[in-house]
Structure 1
Amino acid sequence: MGEQDDFLDRVAAVARRHGVDPGAVREVAGGVANRGFVLGEDLFLRVSRPGYEDDLHKETQVVPATRSVGVLTPAIVEYDADRQVIDAPYAVMQRVNGTEPTEVPAGLAEQLARLHQIKQSGPADLSEVEEDGWGDPWRTIEDLADRGYIDPGTATWLTGWFTRLAERVDAGGPKVLIHGDVAAHNLLAGPGNELRALIDWGDAAWAPPAMDFAKLPLTQVAALLPSYRHHAQSSDSEHELAAAILWFHLSWALAKLPAAPWPNQRHWTAPTTSRLLGLLQFFTTTPPAPWADLV
């Protein structure tokens, strides 16, 4: 018996533990951190790939906390880190039927607002969740100029842009629990494009709320922001929140420039220049207020 056959036999054993006929097990393609398997009609199995074990363990802490504030995400039915059945940590979760949306699903703004209620100083035990922050875009710009990716004049212009954004951003504001990878492949939508679930919490972090908008195209963010602010009852003005979101889009776009090409990936940010060209497209198509004021 080969290694792959042995692995699939162990997956079948997990299915039987939950009363599922192994004939109703189907592997789902994709997944960087985990291999995924449909277990019948009601369950889904995620098996950690090597190097991503901590991400799956983090999810076992994050998922109950998010569900406690009403975030739509599948409950964890079983988590096994002991490698007794499969030689890797795995989690069996409720299965949510839905498809990857092609547009921002209805209800996403409210779900993000619910999630961001969870503050770092709150009572939930989320010891596995690390902090993330604003970074240092000025150093990124200096490095890009030194390495010949941008000319000195462009470096000066970009430095000034971040300096102006910094005047609008509250870098000392509270950090909240963010999903960390709010993108189409981690959203499940039903008929009518209604959001059914946020999935895959391996990138969850304590971070500024604006960071959770960094993996959606700015055209989608601009449409989402008014509803988010309404549900979040945020004290930040729309200008402040938009400036913070733009900070991450621009900073991450610049940091990606020296990266090696990563072909055949479905996410729009995978190509090295996609974010930067997305910013160019957004700001040359008459963006709504307050975005045009941020350049």
Structure 2
Amino acid sequence: MTGLPDLTPAELAALARQHGLRGPLERLPSAGIVNRAYADGEVVLRVAVPGDETGEEDARTEAVAVPAALGAGIRTPPLLAFDDSREVVDAPVTVYARVNAPSLHGTGWDVADPRSVRAARETERELARLHLSVTDVPDPRGWPEIWDLPDAREGVESAATAGRIDRLTADWAVRLLTRTAALPRPAPRFLHGDAQPGNLLVHPDGSLAALIDWGDAGWADPALDFPALPPHAAAHALDAYHEVAPALLGEGAEGRILEVYLGMAFDHLNDEPTPDELWDARPGSVLGHLLRFAVDAPGEWRGWLREEEGGTGQ
């Protein structure tokens, strides 16, 4: 459970009446940082924290992203209500149909567990269908963003300047990122934007029950819908994605995904320690996952991590 404040009993009762919810509504555990979530047997009520600009923006983005995803047949809970009236609390409120399944993060399965692999593969098949099918989103207020990621080399230099890494390591990372930066980028596609294990609801066998939390949806290089997963999972997921959309990612998808991982890894080295257990939350976690992945990375990925002449990533 996050440290976000609970709604008062009066607020919760008023929202239940306003949206015709049967209740009783109970607080759900969540790794999120912008929404309080409550549920009964049929629905999930999500309420942003008043004054939290990120939570309000996420709720508005979901209001247009979820209908687009549902229209494309993506496995995601229907949005039953979006309420920005502020009649009960001074924040947007959303109501979703409830999917009674745990998150992949909540299962505690290792990234190499066959059930985790299945969840990752099924997720990226869904995202491939999203990228292929959603070419226009009715969005008169411009809520979903057009992504523009910072140059990952800046994070490397920042970590080196702060004394978090040595100069030789920084130089290696900058050389790799200079190669990936030269790759052509495909046309932007509509992305979920945060398909991390906490947003994947799964059945006991690892099959995907639903993809939730569309608050970061937007338009960008479709390869950017992979790095929310750990590298091991992303490698399996990329194979599954190609089964659905073999040509959509274009040239050097592995390099473009690694570019994001390295940017995350070196940026996080400057972060403070945290009790957050999501796979990428702690300062050294992404580098640790990359080290584990590099030991037996598939050939296309190894070509980017090596510097020999003639390597795949050259």
TM-score (norm 1): 0.88
User: Is this contact kept in 1: 2:65–2:137, CA < 8 A?
Assistant: no
Report the CA distance between 1:57 and its aligned residue: 1.2
CA deviation map 1:6-32 (0-9, x unaligned): 72222223323454444x211112331
1:249 to 261, 267, 289: 261
Whole-angstrom CA distance in 1 between matches of 2:255 and 2:129: 21
Query: 5+ residue gaps in structure 1?
Result: none
1:85 paired to 2:85 = no
Look up the match of 1:183.
196
1:129 paired to 2:141 = no
Look up the match of 2:44.
44
Whole-angstrom CA distance in 2 between matches of 1:135 and 1:117: 26
What secondary structure is seen at the aligned counterpart in 2 of 1:117?
helix
Look up the match of 2:159.
144
Report the CA distance between 1:123 and its aligned residue: 5.2
Report the CA distance between 1:258 and its aligned residue: 1.0
Whole-angstrom CA distance in 2 between matches of 1:164 and 1:73: 36
User: Is this contact kept in 2: 1:11–1:86, CA < 8 A?
Assistant: no
Look up the match of 2:310.
none
CA deviation map 1:23-51 (0-9, x unaligned): x2111123311111113x21110011131
4+ runs of 1 displaced by more than 6 Å? none
CA deviation map 1:41-72 (0-9, x unaligned): 21110011131112111110111111111111
User: Is this contact kept in 2: 1:49–1:88, CA < 8 A?
Assistant: yes
**Cα distance change, pair 236–213 in 1 and its aligned pair in 2 (3 A):** closer
What secondary structure is seen at the aligned counterpart in 1 of 2:132?
coil
* Amino acid of the structure 1 residue aligned with 2:48: S
Look up the match of 1:268.
279
1:99 paired to 2:111 = no
Query: 5+ residue gaps in structure 2?
Result: 110-115, 306-314
User: Is this contact kept in 2: 1:181–1:203, CA < 8 A?
Assistant: yes
1:33 paired to 2:34 = yes
Look up the match of 1:199.
212
Whole-angstrom CA distance in 2 between matches of 1:155 and 1:48: 39
1:157 paired to 2:172 = yes
Report the CA distance between 1:267 and its aligned residue: 0.3
Whole-angstrom CA distance in 1 between matches of 2:102 and 2:152: 36
Report the CA distance between 1:134 and its aligned residue: 4.0
Whole-angstrom CA distance in 2 between matches of 1:5 and 1:186: 21
Report the CA distance between 1:129 and its aligned residue: 1.1
* Amino acid of the structure 2 residue aligned with 1:259: D
**Cα distance change, pair 184–72 in 1 and its aligned pair in 2 (3 A):** same
The size of the alignment, in residue pairs, is 284
Deviates more, 1:51-60 or 1:85-94: 85-94
TM-score (norm 2): 0.83
**Cα distance change, pair 189–275 in 1 and its aligned pair in 2 (3 A):** same
Look up the match of 2:130.
115
**Cα distance change, pair 21–143 in 1 and its aligned pair in 2 (3 A):** closer
Whole-angstrom CA distance in 1 between matches of 2:206 and 2:192: 20
Look up the match of 2:293.
282
Identity across the alignment (%): 34
What secondary structure is seen at the aligned counterpart in 2 of 1:258?
coil
What secondary structure is seen at the aligned counterpart in 2 of 1:203?
coil
User: Is this contact kept in 1: 2:101–2:201, CA < 8 A?
Assistant: yes
